[in-house]
Each structure stands twice: as structure tokens, then as C-alpha cells.
Structure 1
């Protein structure tokens, strides 16, 4: 594995603050993610990680220490080989997705955004 000048070699997790961890787990599992870690730690907290099948980068669904969360644009981008199929499947599951797939043209791939149960926004792009 190639490393940066500082010794960093990969992105393993992105953290999404979540108060209702069980609701978030069920949501991501409904999208086909798998829960790989669910470990209690100090003060009644849990460390939860979900991954796309076969994925090496996951989403940590972590409770914030103060219990306060403001929904945010996460910057998390998920990929699919068929944007229209993925959009339709997520819509059929009742996921809060954009009404339409955005097709901006040029080098920008087709994409749409969706919101998780906490209200955080994630993006799905078509990977060619």
C-alpha cells in the first residue's frame, strides 16, 4: 500500500453522528449495508460501523457525547453502476431521496442525494 508523506494509506471510516443508533442501523441495512461492528464502550455508548458489502470504507454511526445533532451535508458519496435503478429502489424503500436524478452533463456523473433518519444528506453517483 502506498502511503502519504505522513504515513496515511487509506480512508477506513467516516463518522456520522447518530442518536438513534438502532434506527440508523436498520436504515443502512435496508440499503444493503452490513453491520460489522457494534461494541459498547464507556458511559453507555456504542461504537457501530456499517459497510457496503465487500466495501473497505465504512460509516461509523456514533452517538455524540452531548446528545445534540444538527443534520448536515455529510460529503459522503456512494457509487452505483446504475443510478436510475438505485434511485428507484431507494424510492421504493421509502428513503427520502431527491425527486429526480441530477444530470449535469460533461464530466459530472449522474447523481442524487438522500437523507438518513437523522436528516444527514449523502450522495449517490453513477460510476462508469
Structure 2
């Protein structure tokens, strides 16, 4: 049993909110370009829309949210995706016109091969193998 006096009852990372300027355009990018699955797209509150996407079979989702007042899209998300074949994914994203680093970075063990890419709003992500 967990001793609640020493911590919380948090069990997992469920989703990460990513600010986007156009939810339809973002949904098309994450599903159509990256190949993610759409897990939710529902209205809520006063004219808002809750959208969740995730890599197929992935446990953690991305919520595509409109920026809060005073905020804007185009952030360094700190989100790192994992690829089974980084070279193929890098080439595929470049071929689809995604704003990605021109090369896969390789610094040697224990640092995995990696590259960064940006969504249409300039939100940046990393992919590692």
C-alpha cells in the first residue's frame, strides 16, 4: 500500500496539452501526416473542443488545445517520441514536407540517435530511437 504522506497517488502521464492556432489543421497534421490515431474530438464548455491524438497503441495522448489568453502556439514541448526506425521516420517526415532537422544526430552511446521536428504552429518535438 502507498504511504500517502510521502507522495501522491499519481499513476501515469495521461496526456500533454499542446497549444495550436487551428484545431482542424492540427488534427490533420497529427493524424494525416504523423499517422496518429484520433482518440477524442468532442465539444465542451462554452464553445470549446477537446481533441486527443496519440501514436497508435501509445499510452500517452496529446491534447490539441487553443492557447490560453496571453499565450501562443509554437512552444518547445519537451515531448520525446520513440521510433523503431529513426532513419525511415526522418526520411518520411522530410518527404511529407514536415519542418524537421536536416540530419539525424548521432553522438554515440548512451545517447540515442535523434532529431527534432515542428508541427504547423512551430511546436517542437523530438524523436529518438
TM-score, scaled relative to structure 2? 0.90
5+ long unaligned stretches in structure 2: none
For 1:35, the equivalent position in structure 2 comes to 38
Paired positions, count? 125
Of 25, 28, 31, the residue aligned with 1:26 is 28
The residue correspondences of 1:58-77 to structure 2 (distance < 5 A) are: 58-66=61-69, 68-77=71-80
Whether the 8 Å contact between 2:20 and 2:73 is mirrored in structure 1 is: no
5+ long unaligned stretches in structure 1: none
Whether the 8 Å contact between 2:21 and 2:73 is mirrored in structure 1 is: no
CA distance in 1, matches of 2:68, 2:16: 17
The alpha carbon displacement at 1:53 in A equals: 0.5
Whether the 8 Å contact between 2:106 and 2:112 is mirrored in structure 1 is: yes
SS in 1 for 2:103: coil
TM-score, scaled relative to structure 1? 0.91
The alpha carbon displacement at 1:70 in A equals: 4.3
Q: Max radius of gyration: which structure?
A: 2
For 1:106, the equivalent position in structure 2 comes to 109
For 2:120, the equivalent position in structure 1 comes to 117
SS in 2 for 1:75: strand
Provide Cα deviations, 1:21-66, integer angstroms capped at 9, x if missing partner. 0000000012110111011112211010001101110100011242
Cα separation, partners in 2 of 1:8 and 1:40, compared to 1, 3 Å: same
SS in 1 for 2:74: coil
